[in-house]
Amino acid sequence: MENEKRHWPIGIFDSGIGGLTVAQAITKLMPNEKLIYFGDTAHLPYGDKSAAAIQAYSVKICNLLLKQQCKVILIACNSASAAAYELVKEYVGSKAKVLNVIDPIVSYIGNTYPGKTIGLIGTKQTVNSNVYRKKVDALDLGIELKSHATPLLAAMIEEGFFNDTISESVIHAYLSDPDLYNIEALILGCTHYPLIKKQIENYYKGKVDVLDASQIVAQHVKNYLEQHDLASDKLTGDHHFYVSDFTRSFEESTRIFFKREVELEHYPLWE
Ligand code: DGL
């Protein structure tokens, strides 16, 4: 008997456009999956918000994604994965599977870098929550995690500053911090950062592996769907994109992040 849920969409959310880097990796790897994307632009940036605020936004977004019959909800934001994953998982219960962007990268680190020193950059919420450190320590593989909060980066990228001299100076200032000395790999712990991956690689001149989670997360979603007989074998309708606040800059950036034209629907979380 065919599992009818197979043709249900995958729900994805982020504070803004960052999660589109993950959405794009998913559509590339699984072209038959339909996506429902929510960018909570009214509350961006999440990285400076309290855990309680991010949890409240995440629950509201999940209500919409559940109404749209999503088979899986992927929290495509490190800040929300750090602050709200456990709560959202409990809230959603058996209605959908909830996945986050932190666990796949931690398991990749465990397989690839046992006994090594790894760096992490991300928002204040992600770094200060210590979620990465706790999960890496739980692996018990002798991995030392050095982390540094880089709060300007997501805002800088949202404003379109990447691949230019402004972004280069900000990146240099953050990466030269002693917190990140002597690392062998660097986790890009924010879904906005793949857009500045090249600049970060240039800074390290090949001496540090720069780990962009989007492909690793997409592979994790694919494995999950296949193992649970939930992978779709045909695309049923186009992807749908919601934003809680509509701005022109968001619409423009959407094209850059997703590498195609997308139609955004305005959906305020609170009326
Ligand atoms: N994309 C979000 C993340 O991965 C960060 C952006 C924000 O601060 O809203 O952490």
Question: What residue ranges do the domains of the chain occupy?
Answer: 2-100+215-266, 103-213
DSSP 3-state assignment of 33?
A: coil
pLDDT at residue 19 tops 90: yes
Residues with CB under 6 A from ligand 1: 14-16, 18, 44-47, 77-79, 122-123, 126, 154, 190-192
15 in Cβ contact with 213 (< 8 Å): no
**CATH topology identical between 2-100+215-266 and 103-213:** yes
By most ligand atoms within 8 Å of CB, the mutation choice from 44, 74, 75, 77 for ligand 1 is 77
Q: How would residue 2 be classed by pLDDT, with cut points 50, 70 and 90? A: low
pLDDT in tens, 198-219: 999 999 999 999 999 999 999 9
3-state helix, strand, coil in the chain (%, to 5): 50, 15, 30
Instruction: Decide if 70 is catalytic.
Output: no
Domain 103-213 has CATH 3.40.50.1860: yes
119 in Cβ contact with 187 (< 8 Å): yes
Distance from the alpha carbon of residue 17 to the mean position of ligand 1, in angstroms: 9
Task: Report the top-level CATH class of 2-100+215-266.
Answer: alpha beta
Distance from the alpha carbon of residue 127 to the mean position of ligand 1, in angstroms: 11
pLDDT in tens, 96-131: 999 999 999 999 999 999 999 999 999 999 999 999
pLDDT of residue 58: 98
Q: Residue ranges of the alpha helices (H) in the chain?
A: 20-29, 51-67, 78-92, 103-112, 124-129, 131-139, 152-158, 165-175, 197-204, 213-227, 248-258
**pTM (2 d.p.):** 0.95
Name the residue among 6, 12, 4, 10 with its Cα closest to residue 257.
12
